[in-house]
Amino acid sequence: MKGNKILVVDFGGQYARMIARRIRDLGVYAEVVTNDFEISKFAKEDVIGIIFSGGPASTIAEDAPMIDPEIFKIEKPILGICYGMQLIAKFLPGGGVKPSDKKEFGRAQLELLDKDDKLFSVLDYFTVDNKLSVWMSHGDSVVELPTGFKKLASTENTPIAAFGSSELSIYGVQFHPEVEHTTGGKELLKRFVFAICDAEKNWTLEEIVDEKVAEIRNLVQEDSNVVLGLSGGVDSSVAAALIDKAIGSRLHCIFVDHGLLRYKESEQVQKYFSENFSINLHAVDAVDRFLEELKGVTDPEEKRKIIGHEFIKVFEDKAIEIDGVTHLAQGTIYSDVIESGDSKNSVTIKSHHNVGGLPDEMELKLLEPLRDLFKDEVREIGSLLGLPDELVWRQPFPGPGLGIRIIGDITAEKLDILRKADYIFREELSKSDVADKVWQSFAVLPDIKSVGVMGDERTYGYPIILRAVSSIDAMTADWVRIPGETLDLISRRIVNEVEKVNRVAYDITSKPPATIEWE
C-alpha cells in the first residue's frame, strides 16, 4: 500500500492489534510493529502516520519499553494512546509523568476543553453537557504538558486526559478510542487517519481473503493434507471455509468430543456439518481420555494446557490414519493470542488452549489463517465465504469448553449439573427482550457450596453463576441488563430442575477489570 500506511507501534498492550483493526475498518492499511522497529523504516514515504499503543508497563520504570527519540524528528503525525501518550510526554521537552493518585479502570466521563482543535472537534457531536463516556485503564498520568502542547480534555481523576500540538501533528489520549465502549472513539481515529494523516481508502476484507488463500496455498504443498480441529464455533468454521477455498478436499476436519461440550452440542455439530458442508469430517469420541487427564486438576492454567496438549495428541493420533498430513490447522484469532501474551512486551492474562496449550515440539506444522484477525472481522469473512448467518453469528464458545466454566476439579457429575443449568439460562435468555444485545451468555459452576432450604429441609448445594455480556470483538465487554422478571424465571427453573443446585447469582462485572470467562 504505497504512500498510505499507518504504523501501530506495539508496547505490549492488549489493544495494539485492535487499533490496527480499527484503521483497516476505515479502508486504510495498518501494520503492527514492535517498539524496536528500525527507525529508518518509519521515515519511508509510504508511512503517513504513527500510533503508539498502550502497554502494561510504566514509563517511569527502568525496564519499560521505549522508542527511539528520532521518531519525533521525521515529521509524521503521531497519536499516542494511554502508555503511548505518556511516552510522548516523557520524551518531549517539558513533559512529565507520575503515578496517579487515583487509578482509572473502566468507564470515565471525559470533558472536552478545546472544541475547535482539528482532531478533537469531532467529539463535540457526541457530548452531553460537554462530556462523553470513555474507557480508561491506567495507573500513571501525564502531569506536565510538553512545551507548546495544549490540554484538550480531562476527567475527574485525570486533569490531562488528552493533549496535542496541531503544529507538530502530535496528539496523546489517556483513554482508549479503539474500544467499543469509548463514545466517539472510532470517529476520533477516523479524524486522525483522514484529517491529520491525509490517508486514502484502499483496503478491503476481500483483499484479506485473497491474501490468506494465497498464503495457505504457498504453505501447503500440492501433495499435502491438512487436519483442522473443528468445534462448530465461528472461528474454526471460518478457518475451515478459508482453507477449503485454498486447498479443497485436501482439508480433513476432526471433531473431538472431549466431554466438555454444552447440552447435546456434539450431536448438533456433527449433524450440521455433515448435512451442510462437503468436507471430510472425522468424529472422535475422547470423553474418557480427557476426563482422566483432568482428574483432580484445579488450576485454570493447568486445565487449559492439559486440554491443549490432549487436543494435539488426539489430532496427531487421527492424522496418522490420513495419508500425507503435514499441517494442523486451528481457528486461533488475535484476541486468543493477545490474552496468551504474544507480544514481547505483553503479559499473559490467560492461556488459550490453542495458544498456550501447544507442546514445544509437534510432528505437524501449525496453520492458523485467522491469527491476526479479530472476532468481528472473522464473522465478516465468514459471510464473504458464504457461511450461513446461524453459524457466522453463533455465540463464541471456548476451546476448553465447560472445563473452564467449572471452578475447581472437573467431574462427570459437575459437567451434568452445569450443562443443564447453562441450557436453561441460554434457552430463556433467547426468548427475552435483550437477546439481540447478548454477545455471549453462559453459566459457571463455582467450587463452593451454600446452605439452602427446599421442602422444609436443609440443603447444602452448589450455586450457579450466570454471565451475559455485550461486545463486538471480545477485547472489551459490558454486562447485559437482563430484566428482573427474566432473571427470576431463570433462577426458579434452574433451582427446580437441576439437582444439587440451590442458589443462582448474576455476574455484573465488565471487561476490564474482569475477563469474559471466569477462568
E-assigned strands of 368-433?
none
Residue 143 annotated as binding site: no
Residue 235 marked as a ligand binder: yes
Q: Which of the following is catalytic: 31, 38, 75, 82?
A: 82
Distance, in Å, from the CA atom of 59 to the CA atom of 320, rounded to the nearest integer, reads: 51
Question: Amino acid letter at 500?
Answer: K
Asked if residue 100 belongs to a known ligand binding site, the reply is no
166 labeled part of a ligand binding site? no
The three cell numbers locating residue 414: 459437575
Peptide bond into 512 cis (omega under 30): yes
Residue corresponding to grid cell 492458523: 368
Contact call for residues 255 and 269 (beta carbons, < 8 A): yes
CA distances from 421 to 4, 302, 401, 500 (A): 51, 25, 15, 11
233 marked as binding residue: yes
CB 480 within 8 A of CB 490: no
The verdict on whether residue 236 carries a ligand-binding annotation is: yes
CA distance 445 to 461: 11
Active site residue 197: no
Residue 312 host element (H or E): helix 300-319
| Residue located via cell numbers 453463576 | 465
How many helical (H) and strand (E) elements, i.e. helices and strands, does the chain have? 14, 19
Selected catalytic residue, list 104, 138, 178, 327: 178
Any binding-site annotation on 317? no
Residue 178 annotated in active site: yes
Judge whether 294 and 303 are in contact, CB under 8 Å.
yes
Q: What is the CA radius of gyration of the chain?
A: 25
Is residue 253 part of the annotated active site? The answer reads no
Catalytic residue among 176, 181, 252, 258: 176
Cβ atoms of 14 and 374 within 8 Å: the answer is no
CA dihedral 437, 400, 308, 311 (to 10 degrees): -110
The residues annotated with a catalytic role in the active site are 82, 176, 178
Annotated binding site for ATP: 231-237
Annotated binding site: 231-237
